[in-house]
Amino acid sequence: MCMESSRYDGRRNDEMRKVTITRDYTKYAEGSVLIELGETKVICTASVDDKVPPFRKGTGEGWVTAEYDMLPRSTATRNNRDRNNLKINGRANEIQRLIGRALRSVVDFKTLGERTIIIDCDVIQADGGTRSAAITGGFVALMDACSYLVNANIIPEIPIKDFVAAISVGYVDNKELLDLCYYEDSRATVDMNVVMTSTGKLIEVQATGEEAPFDRKVLDNMLDLAEKGINELVTIQKQVLLSK
């Protein structure tokens, strides 16, 4: 893979945007962060509810779910709120299901007990990679909510089995690029999102040829780039969680 600096914002092909995760960003939630991935900014909050969905009742196991939305002016043109459309936005519904699946994959529900943790991901500024930022930041908020439960003597230990993060990758102008901003994403002939654990296990791979089929080699190269980026994100998550 060619890694020269030739991108829209001057980054190397394998270089991520600057990542900042600020914990305790809101006052009331058991866990809350602001994650900034370049110009993309997402507030992720984790709320503990003592109820579980009907299919979990009586099992002794908990649940994790997610909701995702974009503020009306998080993009260059204003988006209407869902309540004005009287329907759920299909894209938002797809993304929040992805976030929920990603986070549930690393939770020990027996240790969590019969309670639900809801992860709300609200995009306040979008410049590509919002779903990846939501998963990466949502995991930190989830960890803080679990720490709250441990510190309150509600559960005996943190019910998280592994770290999880997500990143976007794309094929733009015949080059594999890591962590696409919107300008790059809008021009990508292959668009890909990867969710992976810190131990290198894949949770989800979403890869689409936007204009034409693509070679297996391109897929392999993009997966290698994604793993590099996710390892960097997990390192940042660990540093942030150990900061206080």
With a pLDDT cut of 70, the percent of the chain lying above it is 95
CB of 165 closer than 8 Å to CB of 178: no
Residue 226 in tokens: 């994604």
With a cut of 70, list the residues of the chain below it in pLDDT.
Answer: 1-5, 82-88
CA separation for the pair 76, 74 (Å, rounded): 7
Strand spans (E) along the chain: 19-23, 31-37, 40-49, 63-70, 116-125, 164-172, 175-178, 190-197, 202-209
Determine the pLDDT at residue 87.
62
Domain regions of the chain by residue span? 19-241
Question: Rounded to two decimals, what is the model's pTM?
Answer: 0.93
Could you tell me which CATH number the domain at 19-241 has? 3.30.230.70
pLDDT value of residue 2 = 42
Q: What is the pLDDT of residue 73?
A: 73
**pLDDT at 83 (0 to 100):** 60
